[in-house]
Structure 1
Amino acid sequence: MINLIKRVTPIIGIFVIILACSNTIDEEPSLIVGQDFTSTSIRVLSIDTFTVSMSTIKFDSIITEGNERLMLGQYNDAFFGKVTASPYFRVNTTDYNIDEDAELDSIGLVLGYDTYFYNDTTATASVEVYKLIDELEPDELNFYNTTEIAHEETPLVAFEYRPEPNRDSIYVTLPYSLGEDLFNAIKNNDILDDESLFTTLEGFTLKPGQDDDSSIIGFSTASDATYLRLFYSLPNEFEAEEEILDFSISPFAVSYYNNIVTDVTGLELSNITDQEDDLPSVQTDNFGYLQSGTGYATKIEFPSLKNINELGVGTILDAVLRLKPSTEGYSDTQPISELLALYIIDQNNDVATQISNNNEFIFAAFTEENSELNEAIYNIPVTDYLDFKLNEQPETEDALVLLPLDYNYSINKILFNDFFNEDFEAELVITYAIYD
C-alpha cells in the first residue's frame, strides 16, 4: 500500500488537435467495429498531438514495512539531492534457554545481501549501528518512509566496508557488554519470551556515515540471512562445546521498516513543500521526476482530450501513451525499472485505484524500439481510461501516475521527457472512429 497526496494544479492552455491521417471505412477493410457502425460511414483517424501535461509531486509518505528488504546507505544525486536509507528492525528467537554453566564468547550481527544496489558500489561506505531506546511501534497502523524511532546518541559500533551485493553477507562484531547483558538475562530467566526480550533490547537501526556518497544496498530479512548471533561455550571434561543462539527478524509481525529521505536543499524539488504542491515539468528541465522510496512521482494529465468531441460523434478504438525516460536518469550503476504499474490519483492526489483492462492490471513495458538511436520507450495502453474520461458524469479532476512494482522498497529514479522535451516529446496516440 501507499499513503499518498493532495491536489492538482489547474491546467494551462488547450492545444489544437491535428489529424495525422484520415481514412474511410472502405480504406480499412480489416477494421472490426460494433453493431452500431454497420449502417454508417466511418472515418478512422490517428491523432498524436494531444497535450501531455506533466508535473512532479511528492507523496506525504509511503509504507516501507513488510517487503523483505532492509535498505542502507547514502549517495548524492544531481536531481534528488542527498538520498539516505536507514533500516529499523528488532529481533527475537524461538529458544530462550541457555545452560547456567554457559559462558559468552562474543556477539555479532550478520547482514545478508539480497543483491539489490543503487549507485556506485566501488566507493567505501560507512555504517553506524545504534540501539533503539523506544519501542518499535508503527505510526497508526503502519511504518512509513518518514517514520523515525528514538535511538541512543552513541553508536554501538561504526565501521567502513566496500559493498559486494552479489556476495553472501557481512559480519559486524558488536560490543561484548551488549552480548553479556543479553546473555546473562536469558541465563537468569529475566528474559523468557519476546515480551521480556523487548524490554531489554528494543531493536536496532543502521545509519550511513553523515558524509557518505556511495550507494544504497539491500539486505534480506530472511531468518537465515540477517540475524543477531551469540557465540558461547559449555564446559566439558575434555574440550568446551561451542554453541550459538540466533535472533532473527520475525516474519509474523511488523518487525522492520526503512526510513528513506532526501535533502533537496538548493534544488527545484525544494519548491514542493507539502503534498498539495505540483511542480510543472517546465520548471524541471522538461522532465517529470519519479523516485521510489522517497515519494516522488510524475502526475500525467491530458488537458486537451475533450477537444476530440469537436471532430464529431465517435469512439476511441485504441490509445497509447508513449514516454521516453531520459538517459540522464539511468546507467549501469543506477538501473531503471522495466515495468511500471498505472494508477489513478484523485483530486486530492491520493491513489484511488490501479487501472485494469478486462480485469487485468495495466503495466508500462520498457522496450528498445531503436537501440542505435537510443530510443527506449515506455508504451502504456490507456484506452479504457480515456474512454471513461470522455463519458464520465460528473467530471472529476483525476490524473495518472506510473509507479514501479518495487516503489516501496527501492530508490530507483526515472526522468520522463515531457511534451516539450527536444530529445523526445511525450506522446499520446489515439485511434478514433467517427460515425454519423
Structure 2
Amino acid sequence: MRKLLGLIALLALIVSCSDDTINDSDFVAGGTFTNSNIRVVQIDTMNVETYTMKFDSLVTSQATRMLIGKYKDPVFGAVKSASYAELLPNSYSIDSEAEYDSIGFFLKYDAYYYNDTLKSNTIHIKELSELLKPADGSNFYNTSKVGYLEEDLGSITYTPRPLGTDSLFVKLSDTLGLGLFDQLQQKDITNTEEFKDYFHGITFQPGEDDDGSIIGFDFSTSVMRMYYSIPGEESRTQFTADFTINTTSSPIPFFNQMSVVETNEYLKTITDKEVLLNSSESDNQSFVQSGIGYTTKIEFTNLKTLFDIPGQGTLLNAVLKIKPVLGSYSDELALRDNLALYIVDQNNDLTEQLLGTDNAAVQATLNRDGQEFNDIYYEIPLTTYIEGILSTERDADYAFILLPENYNSTVDRFVLMGKEGTDQGVKLELTYAIYDEDE
C-alpha cells in the first residue's frame, strides 16, 4: 500500500481545520487532487482474537520489592507470595567487651498493596537450610524453590498500613541473635563467604490460612538489626549491627516466590505457554495476572482485507478498545491506569516491548469517562503497529500481549472481555482514507 504524502497533508487539513481556514493562500491543490475523490471511512468490524496464555516462569530476582502475603481471589484462586533473601552484616567486628541484647527485623513499606488491607496478615520469618543459588546459574523465578527450616525465627500478625511511614518490626529469636553475636565477636566469621556458610539467609512466609492482602516492602531499606551494649563506669553505651539484603552479588540472591492454587476451571487447562485458551472457550473472557504469569494475547486475523476495498488507501488512525468484565474489579481488586504491551513470537516467547511513534512505548490506558454508566475500557493506540503489518509482504503471526507494568514485582490481575456478544467487549477502530484516482 503506497503512502501518498500529499493526500495525508490534505486530510490533516480536512480533519483539523474549519472551512474558512483552507483558502488559496494556505493550500493550492494540484491536478492529482482536483481530479480525484477522497473518502474517509471508519471501520470497526475487523476480527480481533483474544486468548489467555501463561508463561512457564517469570524472573523475580530482578523485582523492585519484597512481596509478602496471601489472599483468596474469587476468579484466580488463592494467591500467595513469599520472599527469600540472603543477608550480609555491615561489619564483621564486635567489641570484645560488648554484651548481646536482642535482634529483630524491620520491614519498610513501599506503598504497594493488593486486596483488602483491613484484614490482618501474618508473616513467619524462617531460616534457609541451603544457600541461595539459582538452579540455572543466572536468575531466580517465581517458581524457584529453596529449602528452609520449619521453626520460626519470629512471626507477627498485623493490620497492614502500606501507605504509612512506620516500619513493621518483627522480634527474632535470641538463639539466632546470640549465635551471630558470638560468631562475630569471637572472630569465627570474618568475611562474606564464612558468613554465608554459617547463615544462608531467611524467607518471609505468609500465614497458611491468611485471606487478606499482599504487601510490598522495600528490600533496599528493610534490615535485620542486632542490639548490643558495652558497659561503662556509670552507664551502658548502646550499639547496633545491621544485616541487609545482599544486593552486591550477581545474580542478586533475592526473589519472590509467587503461586496460585484452587484457580478457576478455565485456567487449570493452561499447563504451559504453548497452550492458548481462546476467549470463546472461557465464557468470553481472557485473564491477566502479574507475578503468576497469566497474560492476554491479542491477534488481528484479517487486517489485509483492507486491500479488498477499491482504490488506493492509507491508514490514518488505529485504536483498540478492550473492556474489563463488569464485576471482576473493585476497590480492593483495583484496575491499574496503564498496561504495558509486548510482542510475542510464534512460540509465545516475549521478544520486546511494543513501540509506537518516535519509538515510545505503547501503553493501554484506562478510559474512565463513562464510569458512572459502567462503561470503562482500555484504549491502545496501534497506528504504527498496524501500518507495519500492512506494509509487510508475507503473512506472519503478528501478536502482542498485555501485562501490568512491573509485572515481576506485582500481583495485579484483570479479567477482560472477548469479542462475543452484543456488548463489543473488544474492537479495533480504524480510520482509513481511500483515494480513487480518475483514469
Taking structure 1 as the reference length, the TM-score comes to 0.88
Find the counterpart in structure 2 of residue 255 from structure 1: 253
Amino acid at match of 1:256: F
1:198-277 to structure 2, matched below 5 A, reads 198-223=196-221, 226-253=222-249, 254-265=252-263, 267-277=265-275
1:17-416 to structure 2, matched below 5 A, reads 30-31=14-15, 38=33, 40-140=36-136, 141-167=138-164, 168-223=166-221, 226-253=222-249, 254-265=252-263, 267-312=265-310, 313-357=312-356, 358-416=358-416
Residues 37 and 435, structure 1, Cα contact 8 Å, conserved in 2: no
Per-residue CA shift, 1:204-249, capped at 9, x if unaligned? 11111222111101111123xx111111111211112111111112
Secondary structure, in 3 states, of the residue corresponding to 1:107? strand
Q: CA deviation at 1:381?
A: 0.8
My pick for the range that moved more, 33-42 or 287-296, is: 33-42
Secondary structure, in 3 states, of the residue corresponding to 1:95? coil
Per-residue CA shift, 1:357-410, capped at 9, x if unaligned? 222121121121223212222111111111222232432213111222121111
Distance 1:415 1:266 in 2: 12
Unmatched 5+ stretches in structure 2: 1-8, 17-26
Distance 1:155 1:288 in 2: 40
CA pair 406-329 structure 1, distance change in 2 beyond 3 A: farther
Residues 341 and 403, structure 1, Cα contact 8 Å, conserved in 2: yes
Q: CA deviation at 1:434?
A: 2.1
Residues 289 and 413, structure 1, Cα contact 8 Å, conserved in 2: yes
Q: CA deviation at 1:40?
A: 4.2
Amino acid at match of 2:14: S
CA pair 160-239 structure 1, distance change in 2 beyond 3 A: same
Residues 72 and 79, structure 2, Cα contact 8 Å, conserved in 1: yes
Distance 1:143 1:129 in 2: 20
Q: Between the two proteins, what is the percent identity of the paired residues?
A: 37
My pick for the range that moved more, 146-155 or 107-116, is: 146-155
My pick for the range that moved more, 269-278 or 336-345, is: 336-345
Per-residue CA shift, 1:48-91, capped at 9, x if unaligned? 11121111000111111233310001111121111110011111
Q: CA deviation at 1:160?
A: 1.9
Amino acid at match of 1:306: K
Unmatched 5+ stretches in structure 1: 1-24
Residues 329 and 413, structure 1, Cα contact 8 Å, conserved in 2: no
Distance 2:121 2:351 in 1: 39
Q: CA deviation at 1:193?
A: 2.0
Find the counterpart in structure 2 of residue 6 from structure 1: none
Q: CA deviation at 1:26?
A: 9.8
Secondary structure, in 3 states, of the residue corresponding to 1:30? helix
Secondary structure, in 3 states, of the residue corresponding to 1:361? coil
Q: How many pairs were matched up?
A: 410
My pick for the range that moved more, 113-122 or 27-36, is: 27-36
